[in-house]
Structure 1
Amino acid sequence: AEALEEGINQLSNSQTTSEDQLAIIRAFGTYQGTAEVWKKLLALAISADLPSLNRDAMIALQNYDDKEIGITLVNFYPKSSSALQAAILNLLSSRSVWAITLLEAIGPKKIPSSDFDQDLLARLSLHGDSQINDLVHEKFPDVEEKTPSLRLHALEQILSAQPGDPYAGESIFTERCASCHKLFFKGGEVGPDLTRYQRDDLSTMLVSILEPNAEIREGYENVVVTTNDRRVLSGFLSDEDTNSIVLRGFDGADITISRKNIISLKPAGRSLMPSGLLNGLDDAALRNLFAYLRISQPITK
């Protein structure tokens, strides 16, 4: 009890270093504490003054289930960065009480429906909650994926029409790809490192982007984990031992789950990579992105 109170006091103390705050946040994320704990974590999750702690605080909130958490994060969503939005979607889709709040908030002023990919919708349906299922059907009446086969030939024509600018393409890569993929030391570690990928083979690369579920690289298979505290989590296994697993979600966050808390662990049959990655890009932007994806050495502006 004394250690708990001391941790809460340290989180509230403006003199506590960010490194110490991070250690406390991660400690609180290993068990379910009091309401005072999750309220402190929630305040840090939406704090504009400590952006480096936002995502870690959200990860720690996984162990709590108060409805106020969902309401607060839904209201924070329009003001947050794209990286934090991914973390919010990942967190709120993990519990049915938050998933309902999340789906009810879909609309132009809060959360656009375009932010929900097929993997997220599939995870929501795994809760087995009739209210969630009704909301999914209401908000997404047509959830069937459209085949990209007809787009493949059109994209090849666009990309072969004239060369793109890799320097302009770097910013598009940063916005759309770098949260998951690394290319020449720039980017995240959710998906495979693209540096040694067959990036000179345009047809193969296009199929991988347009149809991410067609072939999933070994070691990056998406799994769905159901826990005994009614969470539904998705990601790939970044590490595991006899006592626990480490699940890396589409937001890049690692979540450690004790094996004794796992009810089921099943292949999702889907890639973590969204199928609409190229949506909204005009011809010039497409050429620039692929020019950057096919660079043979790092570039700097």
Structure 2
Amino acid sequence: AVVERQDLVRKLSDPNLWWRLKAPQLLVESQDRSVVTSLSDLAKDETASASGRLHALWTLEGLGALDVELVLQSLEAKDAALREHGIRLAERSLENSRVREKLLQLAVDQDPRVQFQLACTLSLLPKEQSFRSLQQIALQHIEDPWFHIAVLTGASESALDWFHALTARKVLVEDASKGKALFLRRIAAILGSRQKDSEIASVLARAAEAKSERDTWWQTASLYGLAEGLKRGADRRVKLSLNAQNHLMDLAEARFPQLRKAALRAAAQVEWAPSPRLRDAMQRSEVIAQRAEEKIQDREDSVSLLALGPSGATFPIVEKLLSPQEPEQIQIAAVHALLGFQDARAGKVVVDRWKGCTARVREAALEDFFSEPARLATLLDGIAEGKVEPWSLSPARKAQLLRDPREEIRKRAESILGPPSALARPKALDDYRPAAKMDGDVSRGREIFAKVCAKCHQIGDIGVEVGPDLASVTNRTKEDLLLQILDPNAYIVPGYEEYAVETTDGRMVTGVMAKESATTITLRRAGGEEEIILRNNITSLRSLSVSQMPEELEKGMSLRDMADLLQFLKSFGSSTARAGTR
């Protein structure tokens, strides 16, 4: 048996991968410590193969016989894979000062895999020891979102340090980049989710003191991140000190539109206390919101700001702006503002004016109705009374009502909308079936795809990846593609069904499951918008058993348009179809 065990040690360096994987398994399962010396010799042997030494180290770890000296030696190895695995093995010896010191020195290692593993491992150390090294790694890989995740793994307690360290770097904030903005947004989101007034106030104070237009990129990224974090936090609305409120209001009234938008997004997550600064802002917004000669953007932002008033005194002004006489953007802002008020009248006002609203205004209203389950009863009342047409609701919306966790909503929805049933559209299929037999124009089909489909599907550089990858559709018949377009619920690609999540603060969030981690899920909606939800904030999660792809996508499309779209989808992969999609 001893001879066999020694033979297994030699197999750790075998050219055959099967043996390199099987030998460590057998050795660890045997727990025979007679091979410890041989394994240690192999791990130290710089003339041996790197893979053999690596397997020897992990086998020693599995036998509980890994010596700290071997770990230190692996951290200094010439082979990058040995250093990378040495860092993981070092996690068992972080109490050793020599190990900690060596790990911190590896922050200047030139191998990206080594640095990535180091970032993950250093998150296990107190921030006083690891922060400087993690900063070095982050700045070297500022454009890589995976490195953002790695260096921020343990950043809950150090997020404010990260924020100030980065925004204080003149070289970093002078030039905007996608990676820098995303990194700051993630840091601010951590701070927002903690919902600590002192931390939020510190972020707002730093953002408010920057006055140059070149600073707007990082201010905007920080405020959007803060808003995302506040939304994920335990409290539905966070209370801030008057000082923090004033800073946020300064940003909400900034002269740069993109900065105002971001500040208002964060402001919507705050429970505002009365103050002279808020009162003055409200008075200015009342005037701007109602003046037709003002810029649409300024009016839109003023309407959003009016929804922040703690007393609801601005409700009549916002209500008046939900009118066909107002531009569509102002009506949409008014809908969001009305349904943002904690006022029972809001839902009824929107329902009463439903038939005078455009499709985009209705969709904005539905988004708010369904994000606030308490308002669904008002929506159902509107449908029952004939004020809201049932066809205004997509199959996903109807399914959400018919599968609501509250029995009273489910039964009411079923009595109004009818029981859940398979959604078939035979007439639409009959009307458009001739398009499948027509020769289409690929170039025109690409234009129709960009207009109709790109909100949820991506081909080349056209569109957003929400629905399934369309790379394989060239193998399907035109008739099959036509069925999927006209009746999207006939078959749903696994992983792309719509989900509904109810959160602990009473919100309802829907979308396709885009990502999952041990602590969060991410839902993605049409247009690519994503919402991250902490698992401990989930009350319920359920599949709606419908596609996120809307029915009646063909509205406004002629037979020729459909034929062109089908031709483009079938021809993708040819040089003609690919042209312009890169």
Is 1:111 aligned with 2:358? Answer: yes
Aligned twin of 1:68: 307
Give the Cα–Cα distance (whole angstroms) in 1 for the partners of residues 446 and 211 of structure 2.
Answer: 39
Is 1:155 aligned with 2:394? Answer: no
Aligned twin of 1:300: 580
Which letter does structure 1 place at the counterpart of 2:217? S
Give the Cα–Cα distance (whole angstroms) in 2 for the partners of residues 188 and 238 of structure 1.
Answer: 13
Match of 2:387 among 139, 144, 168: 139
More strand per residue: 1 or 2?
1
The 5-angstrom pairing of residues 1-301 of structure 1 reads 1=198, 2-7=201-206, 9=208, 14-31=213-230, 32-33=237-238, 34=240, 49-50=257-258, 63=269, 68=307, 78-79=328-329, 103-108=351-356, 110-112=357-359, 116=363, 123=370, 127=374, 129-137=376-384, 138-143=386-391, 147-160=424-437, 162-198=438-474, 200-297=476-573, 298-300=578-580
User: Could you tell me whether the CA contact under 8 Å between 1:62 and 1:91 is conserved in 2?
Assistant: no
Give the Cα–Cα distance (whole angstroms) in 2 for the partners of residues 149 and 121 of structure 1.
Answer: 32
CA 1:166–1:233 in structure 2 vs 1: closer, same or farther (change >3 Å)? same
Q: Which has the higher contact order (CA 8 A, sep 6+)?
A: 1
User: Could you tell me whether the CA contact under 8 Å between 2:484 and 2:491 is conserved in 1?
Assistant: yes
User: Could you tell me whether the CA contact under 8 Å between 2:513 and 2:522 is conserved in 1?
Assistant: yes
Q: Counterpart of 1:179 in 2: which secondary structure?
A: coil
Which letter does structure 1 place at the counterpart of 2:258? L
User: Could you tell me whether the CA contact under 8 Å between 2:520 and 2:535 is conserved in 1?
Assistant: yes
Which letter does structure 2 place at the counterpart of 1:131? T
User: Could you tell me whether the CA contact under 8 Å between 2:435 and 2:563 is conserved in 1?
Assistant: yes
Give the Cα–Cα distance (whole angstroms) in 2 for the partners of residues 121 and 245 of structure 1.
Answer: 21
CA 1:208–1:93 in structure 2 vs 1: closer, same or farther (change >3 Å)? farther
> Highest CA radius of gyration, 1 or 2?
2
The total of aligned residue pairs comes to 289
Give the Cα–Cα distance (whole angstroms) in 2 for the partners of residues 246 and 104 of structure 1.
Answer: 34
More helix per residue: 1 or 2?
2
Q: Counterpart of 2:515 in 1: which secondary structure?
A: strand
Give the gaps of 5 or more residues in structure 1. Answer: none
* C-alpha deviation, 1:289, in angstroms: 2.0
Which letter does structure 1 place at the counterpart of 2:216? T
Q: Counterpart of 2:202 in 1: which secondary structure?
A: helix
User: Could you tell me whether the CA contact under 8 Å between 1:182 and 1:193 is conserved in 2?
Assistant: yes
CA 1:196–1:261 in structure 2 vs 1: closer, same or farther (change >3 Å)? same
Aligned twin of 2:275: none
Give the Cα–Cα distance (whole angstroms) in 1 for the partners of residues 202 and 514 of structure 2.
Answer: 31
Q: TM-score, normalised by structure 1?
A: 0.74
Q: Counterpart of 2:572 in 1: which secondary structure?
A: coil
User: Could you tell me whether the CA contact under 8 Å between 1:77 and 1:88 is conserved in 2?
Assistant: no
Deviations 1:143-200 (A, max 9, x none): 469841122133121342x422221222221121111101234211111111223564
* C-alpha deviation, 1:293, in angstroms: 2.0
Q: TM-score, normalised by structure 2?
A: 0.41
Which letter does structure 2 place at the counterpart of 1:140? V
CA 1:11–1:295 in structure 2 vs 1: closer, same or farther (change >3 Å)? farther
CA 1:93–1:184 in structure 2 vs 1: closer, same or farther (change >3 Å)? farther
State the Cα RMSD in Å: 4.4
Give the Cα–Cα distance (whole angstroms) in 2 for the partners of residues 158 and 277 of structure 1.
Answer: 15
CA 1:29–1:215 in structure 2 vs 1: closer, same or farther (change >3 Å)? same
Which letter does structure 2 place at the counterpart of 1:156? R
CA 1:156–1:132 in structure 2 vs 1: closer, same or farther (change >3 Å)? closer
Give the Cα–Cα distance (whole angstroms) in 2 for the partners of residues 42 and 133 of structure 1.
Answer: 35
User: Could you tell me whether the CA contact under 8 Å between 1:58 and 1:91 is conserved in 2?
Assistant: no
Give the Cα–Cα distance (whole angstroms) in 2 for the partners of residues 217 and 299 of structure 1.
Answer: 28
Give the Cα–Cα distance (whole angstroms) in 2 for the partners of residues 100 and 253 of structure 1.
Answer: 28
* C-alpha deviation, 1:16, in angstroms: 1.6
Give the gaps of 5 or more residues in structure 2. Answer: 1-197, 231-236, 273-305, 309-314, 392-416
Which letter does structure 1 place at the counterpart of 2:531? I
Q: Counterpart of 1:157 in 2: which secondary structure?
A: helix
Which letter does structure 1 place at the counterpart of 2:221? L
